[in-house]
Amino acid sequence: MFNNFYPDNYIVSTYVIPFDKLYEEGYRAIIFDIDNTLVRHGAPADKRSIALFRELRRLGYEIVLLSNNDEPRVKMFSDAVGGQYIHKAGKPLVKNYHRAMEMMGTDTTNTMFVGDQIFTDIWGARSAGIYTWLVRPINKKEEIQIILKRIPEQWVLACYRRKCRRENRVFLIN
């Protein structure tokens, strides 16, 4: 019923995703959301996010930041971590997920997406055919429009948890 809302994986933090193993499996590109995925909402890039992007580039990944935020916010973050970006992306519309893959020279077979929201990030990436990682939001303090989306997200996550149990899969990776 909710398959396009279900992530391929649900994990506690972006910073524990096994990117090195995924590279060995053939993934070559990552599309990232920024706020509450890499840093607190509205925060600048920090040492941890800068180090992550440095390591991802060392591994050989292409990276695009895909955000619904305006350009000054996204550019500031992108300038700090290095890389390409798409601002005012209109997630969950698939157009800019495809554009991000074009920018990186990749496709759905070797690209993954990392984000914290089901109804924008995961729905859009799944609709575009991209492998997804849902991460727990870094901070509970969010704008009201995001808080209101978190309520039905809990229902979707409850359904996803039941699906994982039926399929003998891990619901939340620590």
In whole angstroms, give the CA distance from residue 83 to residue 34. Answer: 13
174 belongs to a structural domain: no
Residue 173 lies in a domain: no
Q: Can you list the alpha helix ranges (DSSP code H) found in the chain? A: 19-24, 47-59, 71-81, 95-104, 123-127, 144-166
Q: What domain range is 109 assigned to?
A: 3-166
Q: For the whole prediction, is pTM greater than 0.85?
A: yes
Strands 84-86 and 62-66: what pairing?
A: parallel
Strand order in the sheet with 84-86: 9-11, 131-135, 111-115, 29-32, 62-66, 84-86
Q: Give me the number of domains the chain comprises.
A: 1
Residue 105's domain is classified under what CATH number? 3.40.50.1000
Question: What's the CA gap between 30 and 20, in Å, rounded?
Answer: 12
Per-residue pLDDT of the chain (174 residues), as tens digits, is 578 899 999 999 999 999 999 999 999 999 999 999 999 999 999 999 999 999 999 999 999 999 999 999 999 999 999 989 999 999 999 999 999 999 999 999 999 999 999 999 999 999 999 999 999 999 777 677 777 777 889 889 999 999 999 999 998 888
Report if residue 128 sits inside a domain: yes
